[in-house]
Structure 1
């Protein structure tokens, strides 16, 4: 096996996408093994690789890591994207958890009925513009720095950009009332490693669509 991290997941965003984002932002190349059949998933279970019987699974540094938050924390700490002390790490955790809560709402969207999708879309836009984005706008305005924490590029910045772009896919004008977030989006998107990940042909996945759902359900539920 090469020294590159290896990611095990289906060929789509889901919970693995934030891991792809963070590795890419850190300038780390990785390999992926896409789960396309129920048999592949069952093999990982039988081999004991899935500690809690679920993916994402990331193989790196001699470890087989599961649980998205643990994987992200490890990558962030290893690549100096986790602040300079415990206080900064706590802030990064807080901001990352907030964006995770918002992104989970969007991840659920393709699995809903048409009626529920309409309600969910309204909920996504409302929470983005009234609960989550105002927090980050206030933080950036308050300290006047380029990044969310410690004036240093961190996991929190990576995940906030990911969340912004996900919401913009649902409503392109969502940042209209957030000038500091607009500037943040441009600034973080211009970081060379991030810019590379945003280019066509990168490992970044497109939004999940309804047509993708049956295949995913078959892999994990038979």
Structure 2
């Protein structure tokens, strides 16, 4: 909760200076998709490729963040909204450091994704829709969550008894049921290169 005595403290080193030092443009790759769609797998592959190219990046994974910062949150609609609000603020801080940030969360509500985008500068928010049919996700079921949801052991499960708002116009549209993980990662990194987030100067300095 904000108070009247909380004042923003301006820092001596600017966001632009931090980005220039890294020879890249800050960006937030916001991965969204159903459970089992491959968000974390693809995001990890992209992060590894960026590291190999010499880029400064960081991955905020949904499950990992719930082990710490968001460990007090459940999976009700209200808790999901707060989960996304917190991670949006954390991601914004990482962008201020000049990084290319990835967040791998289901983030089922379009309104929450729009709010996350509104916190950033124009062009920094890159929605990555991991588009995988629910039948494929359920067949994979890497964590056994669909089985539990079908048995009524898990409530408010996205795609079963909780809504997922499909992205209308994502910057990057990835289909993990027809492409390999490597192909998906190359598609996303290719977008970053084409849009100038990763420059030839940054790659040459790696």
Question: TM above 0.5, one fold?
Answer: no
Larger fraction in helix: 1
The structure with higher relative contact order (CA 8 Å, sep 6+) is 2
TM superposition score normalised by structure 2: 0.34
TM superposition score normalised by structure 1: 0.32
Larger fraction in strand: 2
